[in-house]
A and B are shown apart, each in its own frame.
Chain A
Amino acid sequence: MYLRNDDRPQGSRLSLRIAVLGGVAVALFGILFFRLWNLQVLSGDKYLAEAKNNRTRSFKVIAPRGEILGRDGKVLVDSRSALALQLNTTKLPEDPAEARAELARIGALVHMGPRQVRRKIHEEEEVAAGAPVTLRQDVGFDLVAYIEENQPEFPGVAVQRVFVRHYPHGTLAAHVLGSVGEISGEELEEAGNKDLEPGEMVGKGGVETTYDKYLRGQPGLTKIQVNALGEPTPGGQLVEVPPTPGESLKLTIDPVVQEAGESALASQGLPGAFITMDVDNGQILGLGSSPTFDPSELITPTQAQVNALYRNESAPLANRTTEGLYPTGSTFKLITALAALENGVITPNSVIDDPGQLCLGEECFKNAEGAAYGALTLVPALEVSDDVFFYTLGLDMWKTGELQQWAHQLGVGRPTGIDIPVNTNGLLPTRQWRDQLFKEGNTERPWSAGDNIQLATGQGDLQTNPLQMAVAYAALGNGGAVVTPHVGMEIVDAAGRVQKEFDPGPRRHLKIDAGTRSVILEGLHDAAQGPGGTSHVVFDSFPIPVAGKTGTAERPGHADQSWYAVLAPYPNPRIVTVVTIEEGGFGAESAAPAARTILEAFFRNKLQAAAESEGEGETETPTG
């Protein structure tokens, strides 16, 4: 030991120890300096980026979806704010078993299984980790109250205001409007949806799909400065891009006509469809399909609602107007007459004898109800809907394909260009089609005269729908323009200014001789309002002259389907209305009365004025 009490320690041994300690100190400070230099000078960029990323969290602020209006400005769909149940996953218990139990309890509140809840969380976490997960939109006030009373039991569960589609008129125009729902995985892949994220609402069918980009608006963005726990720091709102509400879509739909059409269908109690369209520009004033559905149920449907809607035999979600696949019965005779006249198969004065049936060898085609009208020309043939007359025309044209040509030109069995999603276009039977089927062994015979005879009266293999028939009738009504049917009229911004007008224009023009047009219209007018007309009973008392054709389509396995197609007013029609009612019997039985109801709605002002002047006359008579 070198120590001596109260004396200076011996120098040399102490110096060694001090030198060693000094060396250690130099090494330790060297380590600190080097590490500091390494972190700040060499890798500073990396850590700065990490720090910047650390301090903010972005939240998307959903924009309220634009309104959908009727042509009169009546609100058909708007967005109301609703309460959504959200879950802040960071507040779940850390213990996995506890967290699972917690999720199960929360799921039970909104009728979701634990697996559903976890999948939902997983989906949303991938997009915006840390952001609250919306478990269910539009929860009831009962549930909200329950959660608020028992908040300690549900940490992390919060009720958030969101926007939910609201349908002030319930099911009105459901098939036109479509519905909204959370974007699906496939939809996310689509080119136009790059900006969208899971959980966002997009249109599902109808104009909600077609005009989605106008209606959806621009979501806003809130960047919030957060602390290490992910909690917002006071005053830490960094960037806020306010959401841009969606623009409003004004439809060509006339709510009065729409309402009339739907109630006319509903009163029949059978599946059916109707369309009312402006013959000149293709604006659809009313379009409905029965049975219908409540679009609000599709936003976040319960399993029971899914079952009711998707597994229902009467297919309430199907739009029978645009996607129905029906033979048309005699309403097709307009096309047959057009083809025959325009191709010179007959003239307006040509007389065809109707002995009650047309026989091709063994096979005979008979009039309905066993009638025989004798010799007649086109106009009376249309008036009484003489089948043999048109069978003969079908027979005359069976080799030439002239009937198919005209039907095709008029839009039968092909896309109409309507601005709501349509999955099928029907079928116009042609020689090529059947011969091809025959060659492939899918049918027992090639194209034959019988096929064309059937088609001439809207029977056989024909598969079309009220929309296509309306376009065809409109083409005759307007003198040859094959219009593009559409329901979108204009885009209106929040201030009510028109941003964009939709006027798709005709798809093509057909050359229809004025004489041909007037003869056929005359025949249709007589059919509706002539003394022997097939729908005379329905339209005789209708004060406005119309040109309408009944149809009674035979569908294998079904009772006869009732059709009615009418142009009004005669002789210069403004609108066309086509109605079909499955298993509705004769055209005049169910479809024609429905069509009349719709026309009454469309001409409501005119009819009211007429009734008033009549009423005035009555009140004046006694005094006069």
Chain B
Amino acid sequence: MMYATRTRNARPEPFAVHIGIGERLGLAHMDWPLTISAVALVAFSVFTLGQATQNDVPGSPNYYLERQAIYAVLGVLGMFALTRIDYSRFRELRVGLYTFLCASVALVFVFGFAARGSRRAFELPFFSFQPSELGKLLLVLALAGFVIDGARRGSPVQRTVRYLCLGLAPAALVFLQPDLGTSMVFVVATLAVMYFGGVPWTHFAVIGGGLAGLIVLVLIAAPAVGHPILKGYQEERLTSFLHPHEHEAGAGYQQNQSVVAIGAGQDTGRGDKATQTRLDFVPERSTDFIFAVIGERYGFMGAAFVLSLYALLFWRALRITTLSKNSYGTLVAGGIAVALLFQTFVNVGMNLGIMPITGIPLPLMSYGGSSVLATFLAVGVLQSINVQAHLSQKGRFAW
């Protein structure tokens, strides 16, 4: 192809010298640091759950360990499968993906089962499937397609409004489940795709101003006139981190306990003496607050190691945006990268007591099939972009 003459291609590629099994499986041009960081994170998750949740389910000490391990294996397989596929096909499927996304999220209202006052998931025979988790990836894939295709239609303002509407519609559905955290991820992913899609800075400034206004409206103005938009617990969770000691018995309590747990881990962790996270002081320790478990059990060494893996993951994702063979890949990689960064920062920040409690899982670490699978699929898409970039540079097409 047209890139065949690039000097870069002259360098010998370790996996490309022969068309071996790796190349046949599409693994030759995987981004190995990305793979390793993702697999290391999920492995650490399985390891941590195995140690910390022995007593959580009476009679089956390895309940969380076994299930998370299965999700991890399925996720890794899914990642490899996607690696082989040319992600560009998703651009063609954008309408179908988007329809499926909105339908699946909407169907939860009809068929979903309620947990703690919100309907988020379908109850399947082996696990409960939460469409909004996969929805993050679907939204990025579909929206990136819409952005590319609509790049020449309408004025910049019209385009921006169109993207926003496309992104915010499923976000609103998720918000109504209600799942505030995931809907925020949707919004951020939408903005990320727009950001990589070249939406002007001025538009972002306006959007930023609008968001600030929305926050004022939701948290201050609407409750003041007697029409609260957020449910009481949502608002309390969102704002309690600002003054944790006022809420020691309520929402702030959880966060306070999480901070105590992490702090108590000190340099090297408390191991099995990690009472904070073993004795229910820290809630949701297998999901939202798993970082507190790591902090208490393995100390600064363990927690910093995990954070480093996320930094590596994000760096590799960001790097892939620059390598992509086409704009669609850049937008998709950017959306995925930012969504991962956002989720990681909000979740770890929540564990560390500097971000509000939003119920956003820690990608690859938090227990949960939907989240683990969806994240691995997203990583698979990143890998696909990487592989396609290398193949196109070599003048090969994916087969």
Q: Is the CB of A54 within 8 A of B260?
A: yes
Q: How far is the CA of A409 from the CA of B282 in the complex (A)?
A: 75
Determine whether the beta carbon of A41 is less than 8 Å from that of B300: yes
Overall SS of chain A's interface: helix
List the A residue with the shortest CB-CB distance to B306: A36
CA distance in complex: A18, B320 (Å): 11
A225–B330 CB distance below 8 A: no
User: A1 an interface residue at 8 Å Cβ cutoff?
Assistant: yes
Please tell me if the beta carbons of B341 and A28 are within 8 angstroms of each other in the complex: yes
Are A47 and B264 within 8 A (Cβ)? Answer: yes
Are A44 and B264 in touch, CB under 8 angstroms?
yes
Closest to B345 in A: A28
A399 contact set on B, CB distance < 8 A: none
CA distance A40 to B352 in the complex (A): 10
Our pick among B318, B326, B345 for the contact of A32 (Cβ within 8 Å) is B345
Q: What 0/1 readout, one digit per residue, does chain B (314-325) give for beta carbons within 8 Å of chain A? A: 110010011011
Residues of B238-291 whose CB lies within 8 A of A: 253, 257, 259-267, 270, 275-276, 279-283
Known: A3-B148, A226-B279. A40 touches B326 (CB 8 A): no
Q: Indicate if the CB atoms of A51 and B324 lie closer than 8 Å.
A: no
Task: Kindly list chain B residues whose C-beta atoms are within 8 Å of the C-beta of A25.
Answer: 311, 314-315, 318, 341
* Interface contact A14-B345, CB-CB below 8 Å: no
B74 contacts partner chain A, Cβ-Cβ < 8 Å: no
- Chain A residues whose C-beta falls within 8 Å of the C-beta of B296 in the assembled complex: 51
- Inter-chain CA distance A37–B196, complex, in Å, is 33
Q: Point out the residue from A8, A17, A226 that lies within 8 Å of B326, measured CB to CB.
A: A8
Inter-chain CA distance A52–B276, complex, in Å, is 8
Say if the beta carbon of A267 comes within 8 Å of chain B: no
In the complex, chain A residues whose CB is within 8 Å of the CB of B349: 31-32, 35
Q: Check if A122 is an interface residue, CB within 8 A of chain B.
A: no
Q: Is the CB of A40 within 8 A of B265?
A: yes
Chain A minimum-CB-distance residue to B269: A40
Stretch of A227-235, A521-529, A593-601, A613-621 lying at the B interface: A227-235
A55: nearest chain-B partner, CB-CB? B275
Contact partner of B198 (CB less than 8 A), chosen from A13, A36, A225, A226, is: A13
- A35 with B354: CB separation less than 8 A: yes
Asked if A39 is at the interface of the complex by the 8 Å CB criterion, the answer is yes
- Bound CA span A535–B171, Å: 110
With A5-B327, A25-B318, A28-B345 in contact, do A43 and B263 touch (Cβ < 8 Å)?
Answer: yes
* Pairwise interchain contact A21-B263, C-beta atoms closer than 8 A: no
The verdict on B299 contacting chain A, using a C-beta distance below 8 Å, is yes
From A17, A31, A44, A229, contact of B354 by CB (8 A): A31
Q: Is the CB of A39 within 8 A of B263?
A: yes
User: Is the beta-carbon distance between A7 and B327 smaller than 8 angstroms?
Assistant: yes
Contacts of B259 in A (CB 8 A): 39, 47
Report B288-314 CB contacts with A as 1/0, cut-off 8 Å.
000000011001100110010011001
Determine if A558 is an interface residue (Cβ-Cβ < 8 Å).
no
Q: Whole-angstrom distance between the alpha carbons of A35 and B195 in the complex?
A: 29
A40 and B195 within 8 A (CB) = no
Given contacts A1-B151, A14-B330, A48-B263, contact A36 B307 (CB under 8 A): yes
A9: Cβ under 8 A from any B Cβ: yes
B156, B279, B282: the one within 8 Å of A1 (CB): B156
Query: C-beta contact mask, B219-254 vs A, less than 8 Å → 1, else 0?
Result: 000000000000000000000000000000000010
Q: Which residue of B lies closest to A45 (CB)?
A: B266
B265 touching A227, Cβ below 8 Å = no
CA distance A1 to B151 in the complex (A): 8
Within 8 Å of chain B (Cβ to Cβ): is A50? yes
* A29 contacts B330, C-beta separation under 8 Å: no
**Bound form: Cα–Cα A40–B348 in Å:** 14
On whether the beta carbons of B151 and A5 are closer than 8 Å, the reply is: yes
Cα distance, A337 to B191, chains bound together (Å): 116
Inter-chain contact A37/B276, CB cutoff 8 Å: no
* A438 at interface, CB cutoff 8 A: no
Q: What A residues does B276 contact at CB under 8 A?
A: 51, 54-55
Hey, which chain B residues are within 8 Å of A31, CB to CB?
345, 349, 354
Q: Does A126 contact B (CB under 8 A)?
A: no
Q: Are A21 and B264 in contact (CB under 8 A)?
A: no
| Contact residues in A for B261 (Cβ distance below 8 Å) | 47, 51
The reply to whether A40 and B295 form a contact with Cβ atoms under 8 Å apart is yes
| B338 CB within 8 Å of chain A | yes
The answer to whether A4 touches B260 (Cβ under 8 A) is no
In the assembled complex, which residues on chain A have CB atoms less than 8 Å from the CB atom of B307? 29, 32-33, 36
B197, CB-defined interface residue at 8 Å? yes
Is A194 on the interface with B (CB-CB < 8 A)? no
Given the known interface contacts A8-B326, A35-B354, A40-B267, the answer about A51 and B275 at a Cβ–Cβ threshold of 8 Å is: yes
CB distance from B289 to the nearest CB of A (A): 12
Q: Knowing A1-B156, A41-B266, say if A227 contacts B279 (CB, 8 Å).
A: yes
Q: Mark A134-174, 1 if CB is under 8 A from B, else 0.
A: 00000000000000000000000000000000000000000
B260–A50 contact, CB under 8 A? yes
Give min CB distance, A43 to chain B, whole Å: 6
The answer for the CA separation of A218 and B349 in the assembled complex, in Å, is: 49
Contact of B264 among A17, A48, A227 (CB under 8 A): A48
- Near B by CB (< 8 A), chain A positions 514-534 give none
In the docked arrangement, what's the CA distance between A233 and B280, Å? 9
Q: Is B318's CB under 8 angstroms from A40's CB?
A: no
Cα A184 to Cα B112 in complex, Å, equals 61
A36 x B304 contact (CB < 8 A):
yes
Residues of A within 8 A of B253 (CB): 228
Q: Which residues 134-184 in B have Cβ within 8 Å of A in the complex?
A: 147-149, 151-152, 156
**B residues within 8 A CB of A2?**
198
Contacts of A228 on B, CB cut-off 8 Å? 253, 257, 279-283
- CB contacts (< 8 Å) of B283 on chain A: these are 228
> Which residues of B, 42-88, contact A by the 8 Å Cβ criterion?
55
Q: Cβ of B260 and Cβ of A47 under 8 Å apart? A: yes
**A9–B300 contact, CB under 8 A?**
no
Residues in A neighbouring B321, C-beta threshold 8 A: 14, 18
Residue of B nearest to A49 (CB): B264
Q: Could you show 20 A-B contacts with beta carbons less than 8 Å apart?
A: A3-B327, A9-B327, A13-B198, A14-B196, A17-B196, A21-B334, A25-B318, A29-B311, A31-B354, A32-B352, A35-B349, A36-B262, A48-B266, A51-B263, A51-B264, A51-B281, A226-B279, A228-B253, A228-B257, A233-B280
